[in-house]
Amino acid sequence: MNPSLKPVLRSALFPVAALLAVGLSVVMSHPQAQEVRVVPEPALDMPADTAPQVAILAGGCFWGVQGVFQHTAGVTNAVSGYAGGDMRTARYDLVSNGSTAHAEAVQVTFDPRVISYGRLLQIFFSVVHDPTQLDRQGPDLGPQYRSAIFPANEEQARIAKAYIDQLDGARAYPAPIVTRIESGQGFFAAEAYHQDFMARNPRHGYIVAHDVPKVDALKRLFPALYRDTPVLVSTAAAN
What is the C-alpha to C-alpha distance for residues 202 and 179, in angstroms, rounded to an integer?
28
Q: Regarding beta strands 187-189 and 75-83, do their DSSP bridges make them parallel or antiparallel, or are they unpaired?
A: antiparallel
Residues with a catalytic annotation lie at 61
Q: Is 138 helix (H, G, I), strand (E, B) or coil?
A: coil
pLDDT of residue 2: 41
Average pLDDT across the chain, whole number: 87
User: Over the range 192-222, which residues count as b (16 or more CB within 10 Å of their CB) and which as e?
Assistant: eebbbbbbebeebbbbbbbbbbbbebbeebb
* Per-residue model confidence (pLDDT) at position 34: 65
Residues 44-75 pLDDT 10s = 999 888 899 999 999 999 999 999 999 999 99
The reported pTM is 0.86
Sequence-ordered list of residues with C-beta below 8 angstroms from that of 109, at least 6 positions apart, any chain: 52, 53, 54, 75, 76, 77, 78, 236
User: Percentage of residues in the chain with pLDDT exceeding 70?
Assistant: 84
Q: Is pLDDT larger for residue 25 or for residue 50?
A: 50
pLDDT the model gives residue 111: 97
Q: Give the pLDDT of residue 36.
A: 77
Q: Which fold has domain 3-238?
A: Peptide Methionine Sulfoxide Reductase; Chain A (3.30.1060)
Beta pairing class for 147-150 and 180-181: parallel
